[in-house]
Structure 1
Amino acid sequence: MNDLIPLVNKLQDVFNTIGSDSIDLPQIVVVGSQSSGKSSVLETIVQKDFLPRGNGVVTRRPLVLQLVNTHTGISSMDETSAKNADYAEFMHLPHKQFLDFDEVRKEIESETARVAGQNKAISRTPIHLKIFSKDVLNLTLVDLPGVTKIPVGDQPTDIEKQTRNLILDYIQRPNSVILAVSPANVDLANSDSLKLARQVDPHAKRTIGVLTKLDLMDAGTNALDVLSGRAYPLKLGFVGVVNRSQADIQSNKPMTDAFKSETVFFENHPAYRAIAHRCGTTFLAKTLSTILMNHIRDKLPDIKAKLNSLIGQTQQELSSYGDPTFTGKAHRGAIILQLLTRFASDFVAAIDGTSAEISTKELCGGARIYYIFNNVFGSALDSVNPCENLTNQDIRIAIRNSTGPRPSLFVPEIAFELLVKPQIKLLEPPSLRCVELAYEELVKICHNCGGKNLARFPRFHAKLIEVVSDLLRERLGPTSEYVESLIAIQRSYINTNHPDFIGGGGAMSQLERTSERKKPEMDRTRRISAVNVTLNGPSNSHVVEGEKSLTNAVSSLSVHPVEKPRERESSTHLHPNPSGITTNGAHPGPNAPGKDTFLNYFFGAQPRHSTGRPSHPESRLAGHSQDVAKEMIMPKTVLDGEPVGIDRKLDHMTDHNELSHLSDREDMETQLIRSLITSYFNITRKSIQDLVPKAVMHLLVNYSRESVQNRLVATLYKEELFNDLLQEDDSLSAERAKCKAMLDVFKNAFSIINEAM
C-alpha cells in the first residue's frame, strides 16, 4: 500500500516525458475560491513557504505537486543536500535541485509568466514540481487557480469562465479526488468549491471537504454540524484546519509553531474538543494519503486494462506507418514494385467502379465519365440550334450565289450543302470539350490513387502522378484529332440519300401541311380586319390603306420589263393583256390552276397572287423594284442634271435592301432549306453523340487503363531511382517517432504496474 503513491508518481513521470494525459491517473485536485486559504493548506501540508502570494489570481497555471517522503535517502545526496534533506525539482529543469524554497516560489512565478503572460491570464499547461522531504507523506496534489467572479486590475473580462472551465476539466475525471476548500466564516451554501464538486460528483463519493479559518468565526458560532457531517454530508467527510494568519506569514512564523498553535486551538475549544483528534493539518495529510492510496488501489486494475488497450492501438498505428528500414536493393525493389502495382490497380478499379472505397456522397471515377458522356455531352449537343446564326438573308444569298447569273427554276442542291456544312461545324466545340472533361476526370482519378501507403513517400507519389499524367496527355492529342476528323468526315460528304433524311418531297409535304394549318388562322384574321373596317371606318384601318396602296400598285403596272427565258406550261399561254396579269391578279387561260399550290412555287411556275406580285426574283425587280431594275439596265437621265452611273447606283443598292422583303415563293424556299438543314443536322448530331464517347473510351480511357502499369514499371522501376523514390516525408517520420515513444511509455507504465501488483 505504501508503494502505490510512488507508483502513480512514476507513472506520472513516465507520461510527462511525452506530454500525454492518455491515462487518467489518481490524484487529489485542490479547489477553492480566492482567499479561501487554499495556498495556506498546501503550504502547511508541505511545511514549506513556496507558493506565490498576492492580490487577484496568483495561481494562473495548474501546479502538479508530488510529495516524496525521503526516509533514509539522505545518503544518496551530496553534502549540501545532506545538511538540509528537503529540496525541490521542476520537470522543466530536470537536473537542478532547489534547496531554497524562496527560489522555488520565484521559479513558479517566472515560469507562469513565461507561458501565461503578464496580464493575469491563465493557462492550461501545468507546472510539475516534486518536493522531497522526510517530513511529508507521499501525496500527489494538483493546485488550481482560485475561483474568481469579478476581474480586478488587468485581469481578462472572462476570467471567471476561464477559471471554472479549467477546474471542471480536472475534477470531472473519474480518478480525481476533489479537495474542496471552504472558509468557515462564510455560509457553506455560498461555497464555490462545493458547488463545482456537486456538478461532477453529485453523490459526493470522491469529495473531501476542508474548513479553514475556524478561528475567525464570530463569537458564539462554530462549524460542528459541518465537521460532523450533519449540515452537508460527504462520504469522505470534512476536516477542520487552522492556518497561519497573514500576520504570521509576514512575520515568518515557523511551521512547527503553527502546528502547535493549531493543536492548542482544537484541544481547548469547547465545541471542537471532542473531535480534536479528527481535526488539524496532520490529520488532513494522513487522511489524504490514505484516501489516495485506497483510490489508487481501486483504480489500478482499470488503469492496467486501459494501458493494455492503448498498447494494442498504438502498435497498430505504428505498423500503419510502415517499416522505416529497408534492407538491401532487393527489398527496396520489392516495395517499389508492390506500390506501383497497388497504384495501377487503384487507377483501374476507380474507372471500373470496383474500388473498395467507393464514395456514397458523390459520383466519382468511371461513374463521372459516364455522366459526362450521357448528361453533359448530350445536353451540350441538344442545346445546339440546327439553324443557329442562319438568317433568311443568309439563305437567300446562298441560293442566289449558287445559281450564278442564271435565274433558278428549282432550289439548287449546292445551296443546301453550302449552308449545312457550317452548321455541322457547330458540333465540334462540345465534342472536343467532352474529350477534355474525360481527360480531366482521369487526371483527378490519378491524384486520388495510392492512399495511405504512398503518403509516407511523397516523392514516389508525385512521380507516379507525373508518369500517369504524361500518359494521359499523350493520348489527349490523338483523341482530340480523331474527334475533329469525325466532324470533318461528316462535312466532307453530305449524304442526302440517308434513310432518315426528310428529302425534298418530305420537306415540301411538311411545309404544305404547315401552310394548310396556318390558312384558317389567316382567314380568321382577315375576317376580323373586315369587321374592324366596317365598324371603325376605312380611315382608321391600316388594312384598307394597305389594300388601296396594293391596288394602285397593280393598276400602275404596264408591260413586264423583263421577259422570262422559260415558263412552265401554266405560264406559256399568250395573253391579250401585255402585262400577263388580269385586273384581279389571276392568270387567264384554261390551264390556269384554280388555287396556288406549293408545287407551283417550288418548281418555278408563275402562281396567282392577290397582290399581283410576281414570284421570281426578276419579276420582283419588275414589280416592287421596277424603277431600280430599269436603272440597272439604262442609266437614269435627268434633263436638268448630270447622268447617274450604274456603278454609283450599284453602290447605293445593298443586299439588305434587295432581300428585306421576301416573296411567297422565296419564303417557302427559305423554309424548305431550313427543314432540310434541320433534318440532316439531327442525323449528324445523333451520329456524333454516338461516335464521340466511343472514340474517347477507345483512344483515351481504355488505352490508359490497359497500359498504365506497363508505363509505370518501365519509367520508375530503375535501381538508380530507388533511394530517391523511397525517401520518407519528414512529418510522417516525426509522427512515427512520436508514436513509437508513446508505445514505449505505455509498455513501461504497464511493466511498472505489473511489478507493483
Structure 2
Amino acid sequence: MNGEVHSHLEESIRPYIDLIDTLRTVGIHKDLSLPTIVVIGDQSSGKSSVLEALSGVALPRGSGIVTRCPLELRLKKKTGVNWKAVLTYNKKTDESVNFAGPIKPSKLASVKAAQSTHNEKKIEFTDPSLVEKHVATAQNELAGKGVGICDELITLEIMSPDVCDLTLIDLPGIARVPVKGQPEDIGKQIKRLIMTFIGKHETINLVVVPCNTDIATTEALKMAQEVDPEGIRTVAILTKPDLIDKGTEKNILAIVHNSVIPLRKGYIMVKCRGQQQINDEISLEEAAQIERDFFQNHDYFRCLLEEDKATVKSLAIKLTQDLVDHIKDKLNNIQLNQQEKAEERISEQFKMENRIYTQDPIFLKILSEIRNETFSEKELPVFDKLCTYSHMLEAFYEIVVQRMADQLPLMITFYMLQETAQLLSIDIMKILEKPDVHELLSEDSDVSRRRKDLRAHLNRLTAAAEEINKFFN
C-alpha cells in the first residue's frame, strides 16, 4: 500500500489523527464522543477483506462472526521504520502478560509483551503473520472461546512505511440467524453494539455492501439510514464486483453514481483478495495490481477509475481526508464540551466539600501535627507569620493525597445525600397532597392545652426571675 496517501498530505493529516487517538487512549471517549470511522456490514460482506487491504495485514476472517469485539485499527505511515504492531486491551482477570498462543522459537525474538497499567495488556511484535493469532486470542479472552461477542475495545496499532494514515473501528458483522453456541438474541446484541457507535453524530459510518446483493435490503445500510437519514456521514463500499450477474452492471453504476440511495459522502467500489487468492498465496501488492487491471479492462466499471471511485487506493485516500475534515469540524465542539464537563466536575467537587466537610479544621489539624504546635481558626489569616510556607504546603498536599484516596466514598456519600434529599422532598409533597393533611398537622386538644399551660408557666417564672434580679441589684 506504499503511497496510498499523497506525501504532501501526510504532514498535515497525521497530527489530527494522533490527537484523536491520544484522547481515546486516555479515556475521553467515555465522556465525549470523538470523531472516528466505524466499519459495519452484514456477515460475509467482505468487511475483513477491505480492512486487510487497507492495513496490509491478515485479520481474522472466515464464515460466521469473525469480529467478536470492537477492533480499533490505527494505521500510522512511518518511513524508515520496519513494520511494527502494538495490541492493547483491558484484561478481565489474569494479571500476567501472555503471548497469543504458542509461538515458534524463530518468531519469539520478534515479540515483546509489556504491561502499562494494572488491568491493561499490551503486546508488541514485529511479525505481521502474528496479527491474526493475537487478535483471536484477545477476543477469546474478552468474549470467551466460541461465538459470543463483547463490547470491550481491542486496539491494534500498526506502524509501517506501506500503510496509510488512518484510524477506524471494526464492529461485528450483523448476524440474522444464531448458530450453535450463540444466544437466541445474538442478532439484537450485535445491533445494539453497533448502534452505540454509529448513532453518535461524530462518527463516519463506513458500510460494506456486496455488489451481488440488493443494496436496498442490506441490514447494515438500513441501520446507517436510521441514524443518518440524509446520508451526511455515511460512506458505502461496494465489494465483490466480479460476482455480479451479467446485465446488472448498469444498475450497479447507478448506485455508485448516487442515483439509487443518495449518500453525501458517496460510494467506492473495491475488489479485494478472495479466499482462493489467499490459498494461492497471492500477496497484497499483487492483489492491488489485479484489482486495477480488473477495473481497467472492465467494459462498464472502467470509468470509475477516472472518477476515483474504484480501488482500495482511492478508498484509503478518501477515508483519510474525510476523517481529517471530520476531526477539524468537530474539534471546536470537543473543546467546548470538555470545558463544560470540567466545569461541571469542579462544581460538583465544591458541592461535595461544602456539604460533607470543611477544609479549615482539617488543615489546622494536619498543620498542628507537622509543627507540633496548636493552631486555632482565629489564627487562619496570619499563618504566614507563624510558620514557613513549606509546612503549609506539606499540610496541604497531605490533605490532597488523603482526599484522592477518599474521593470514591466521598462521591458515594454526596450522591446518597442528594438522592435522599430528593426522595424526602417527594415524600413530603405526597403527604401534603393527601386529603387528611390538615388532620395530620393539627394538634390534639389535650396536648395543645398542656403546651399552653407550660408556656404560661414558663413566662411567669421568667418574669419572676427578672423581678428578683432587679431587687437584689
TM-score range, shorter chain: 0.5 to 0.7
Counterpart mapping for 1:215-234 below 5 A: 215-222=242-249, 223-234=252-263
**CA deviation vs aligned residue, 1:494-536 (integer Å, no higher than 9, x gap):** xxxxxxxxxxxxxxxxxxxxxxxxxxxxxxxxxxxxxxxxxxx
Q: Is the 8 A contact 1:4 1:297 kept in 2?
A: no
Match of 1:192?
219
Q: Report deviation, 1:332.
A: 8.7
- Which residue matches 1:301? 332
Does the 8 Å CA contact 1:120/1:155 hold for their aligned counterparts?
Answer: yes
> Given that residues 85 and 156 in structure 2 are in contact (C-alpha distance below 8 angstroms), is that contact kept between their aligned partners in structure 1?
no
Which residue among 126, 131, 148 is the counterpart of 2:175? 148
How big is the shift at 1:7?
A: 3.1
Relative to structure 1, the CA distance from residue 26 to residue 361 in structure 2 (aligned partners, 3 Å threshold; closer, same or farther) is closer
Query: How many pairs does the alignment contain?
Result: 358
Does 2:320 match 1:255?
no
Instruction: List per-residue Cα deviations over 1:236-287 (Å, max 9, x = no partner).
Output: 1110000111112233321111001001000000101122242100010001
Q: Quick one: structure 1 residues 272 and 34, their matched pair in 2 at CA, closer, same or farther if it must change by over 3 Å?
A: same
Distance 2:259 2:374 in 1: 75
Q: Against the structure 1 CA distance between its residues 194 and 363, is the aligned structure 2 distance closer, same or farther, given a 3 Å change threshold?
A: closer
- 1:90 is matched with 88
SS in 1 for 2:174: coil
Name the structure where strand makes up a greater proportion of residues: 2
Residue number among 305, 316, 340 corresponding to 2:347 in the alignment: 316
- Look at both structures and tell me which one has the larger radius of gyration over its CA atoms: 1
The residue type equivalent to 1:282 in the other structure is K
| 1:269 and 2:298 are equivalent in the alignment | yes
Structure 1 gaps, min length 5? 75-83, 336-355, 380-685, 700-757
> Relative to structure 1, is the Cα distance of residues 373 and 115 closer, same or farther in structure 2, using a 3 angstrom cutoff?
same
Structure 2 residue aligned with 1:58, among 66, 69, 72? 66
C-alpha distance in 2, partners of 1:373/1:334?
47
CA contact (8 A) 2:208 2:239 kept: yes
Counterpart Cα distance in 1 of 2:32 and 2:253:
39
The CA deviation string for residues 557-589 of structure 1, in whole angstroms up to 9 with x for no partner, is: xxxxxxxxxxxxxxxxxxxxxxxxxxxxxxxxx
Deviation at 1:23, TM superposition (A): 1.8
C-alpha displacement of 1:3: 4.2
Structure 1 residue 691 corresponds to structure 2 residue 467: no
Measured after TM superposition, the shift of residue 10 of structure 1 is 3.2
- Corresponding position: 1:127 with 2:154: yes
**Do the aligned partners of 1:12 and 1:25 also contact (CA within 8 Å) in 2?**
no
Cα 1:377–1:136 shift into 2, 3 Å: same
Q: In 2 relative to 1, CA 276–361 (structure 1 residues): closer, same or farther, beyond 3 Å?
A: closer
CA contact (8 A) 2:44 2:63 kept: no
Superimposed CA distance per residue, residues 295-333 of structure 1 (whole angstroms, 9 cap, x where no aligned partner): 111112211211222222222233444469735139996
Task: Name the amino acid aligned to 1:41.
Answer: V
Matching residue of 2:240: 213
Alignment of 1:642-721 (within 5 A): 687=446, 690-691=449-450
Map 1:319-468 onto structure 2 (within 5 A).
319-322=350-353, 326=363, 327-329=366-368, 334=377, 360-363=425-428, 375=440
Give deviations 1:463-520, integer Å, cap 9, x for gaps.
xxxxxxxxxxxxxxxxxxxxxxxxxxxxxxxxxxxxxxxxxxxxxxxxxxxxxxxxxx
Shift of 1:212: 0.2
Give distance in 1, aligned partners of 2:131 and 2:375: 55
Separation in 2 of the partners of 1:331 and 1:201?
66
1:195-214 per-residue CA deviation (whole Å, 9 max, x = no partner) reads: 11110111111111100000
Aligned in 2, Cα 1:20/1:281: closer, same or farther, shift over 3 Å?
closer
1:270 to 1:321, Cα distance in 2 relative to 1, 3 A: same
What secondary structure sits across from 2:167 in the alignment? strand
- 1:4–1:296 CA contact under 8 A, matched in 2: no
Closer, same or farther: CA 243–332 of 1 in aligned 2, 3 Å:
farther
Match of residue 660 from structure 1: none
Give the residue type in structure 1 aligned to 2:367. Answer: G
Among candidates 296, 306, 311, match of residue 280 of structure 1: 311
Q: Deviations over 1:628-661 (max 9, x none)?
A: xxxxxxxxxxxxxxxxxxxxxxxxxxxxxxxxxx
1:173 to 200, 222, 227: 200
SS at match of 2:426: coil
Give CA deviations for 1:25-61 in whole Å, capped at 9, x if unaligned: 1111111000000010001001111x21233212111
- C-alpha contact 2:67 2:171 (8 A) present in aligned 1: yes
User: Of 271, 276, 284, which aligns to 1:242?
Assistant: 271
Distance 2:44 2:335 in 1: 39
Displacement of 1:18 after TM fit?
Answer: 4.0
Equivalent residue, structure 1, for 2:47: 38
C-alpha displacement of 1:192: 1.5
Q: Which residue pairs with 2:405 in the alignment?
A: none
Q: Deviations over 1:77-104 (max 9, x none)?
A: xxxxxxx334334255556422123332
Of Structure 1 and Structure 2, which has the larger fraction of its residues in helix? 1
Which whole-Å deviations, capped at 9, do the CAs of 1:423-453 have from their partners, x for residues lacking one?
A: xxxxxxxxxxxxxxxxxxxxxxxxxxxxxxx
**What is the distance in 2 between the residues matched to 1:308 and 1:213?**
46
| Residues 149 and 305 (structure 1), Cα distance of their counterparts in 2 relative to 1, 3 Å cut | same
Deviations 1:319-362 (A, max 9, x none): 44446973513999659xxxxxxxxxxxxxxxxxxxx9996534
Does the residue aligned with 1:236 lie in a helix, a strand or coil? coil
When normalised by structure 2's length, the TM-score is: 0.68
Contact 1:66 1:141 in 2 (8 A): yes
Per-residue displacement from partner, 1:382-417 (whole Å, max 9, x unpaired)?
xxxxxxxxxxxxxxxxxxxxxxxxxxxxxxxxxxxx
* TM-score relative to the length of structure 1: 0.43
Structure 1: distance between partners of 2:437 and 2:227: 58
- Residues 361 and 196 of structure 1, relative CA distance in 2, 3 Å threshold: closer
Instruction: State the Cα deviation string for residues 81-140 of structure 1 (Å, max 9, x = none).
Output: xxx334334255556422123332222222222222234222222112211111112111
SS of the counterpart of 1:122? coil
Q: Secondary structure of 2:262's partner?
A: coil
> Does the Cα contact within 8 Å between 2:87 and 2:124 map onto a contact in 1?
yes
The separation in 2 between residues aligned to 1:295 and 1:687, in whole angstroms, is 77
Give the drift of 1:17.
2.9
Once residues 234 and 256 of structure 1 are traced to their aligned partners in structure 2, the CA distance between those partners, rounded to angstroms, is 30
Contact 1:6 1:68 in 2 (8 A): no
Q: Quick one: structure 1 residues 247 and 317, their matched pair in 2 at CA, closer, same or farther if it must change by over 3 Å?
A: same
> Pairwise CA RMSD of aligned residues?
3.4
Structure 1 residues 129 and 332: alpha-carbon distance in aligned structure 2, compared to 1, 3 A threshold: farther
Query: 1:14 Cα shift?
Result: 3.6
Does the CA contact (< 8 Å) of 1:6 and 1:138 recur in 2?
A: no
